[in-house]
Amino acid sequence: MLILASASPRRRELLAQAGLSFTVESANVSEDVQPGESAATYVQRLSVEKAQAVWAAHKSLDTPDDPLVVIGADTTVLCNHEILGKPVDQADARRMLGLLSGRTHQVLTGIAIVSRIAPLSDVEITQVYFDLITEKEMATYLASGEPLDKAGAYGIQGYAARWIPKIEGCYFNVMGLPIARTIALLSAAEDKLNPGGAARLGI
């Protein structure tokens, strides 16, 4: 049984596009950054904590023939040494977009696979280049409401695509889930859960 520990519609769509069958349950964990925590450590820790929380809530479903496997993920934006999560309001979104305007930043996603074995986790990093954002574009984007539920106050697949001339790395990572890296971790977990046996996760 495979569960995605995220309410993100983008992650759900990406996993479905990759041909996986799964259910969805969001995890209620604190997303506060710990003192001195790097962006990579932060997203990797949160991805594990989210997956562990959901696995613990459903561990009674885990059986030898049908192992319970949970995917956790967390994405953040790093610009000018500042970790940018989801903006708290429009003023915060404007501040974040102003920081990103005309600069290169990094998008980091932590991925975790939690099951009865030790968690498997990794971090994907993509470089994203931003053009300058005009005041008119800024106002239009903020009025749409789109920035408010996205790390760094933008989504690469929406209106903000007009500001991104190029990226270096995984496009799907910027959307919130690096599919190839996720599938690799799932395959590694499946091998450990069922060495030499038939695939059970539908990978």
Residue 68 makes CB contacts below 8 A (sequence gap 6+) with 1, 3, 55, 58, 59, 61, 62, 115, 116
- CA pair distance 155, 175, nearest whole angstrom: 7
Pairing, β 69-79 against β 104-114: antiparallel
Active site residue 89: no
Task: Report the alpha-carbon angle 152-159-108, nearest 5.
Answer: 30
Phi, psi of 145 (to 5 degrees): 80, -10
Of the residues 32, 65, 66, 74, which is catalytic?
Answer: 74
- CA pair distance 142, 124, nearest whole angstrom: 28
- Crossing angle of the two packed helices 135-144 and 90-100, in degrees rounded to 10: 140
Residue type, 96: M
State the Cα torsion 116-12-174-34 to the nearest 10°.
-50
Which amino acids are annotated catalytic?
A: 74
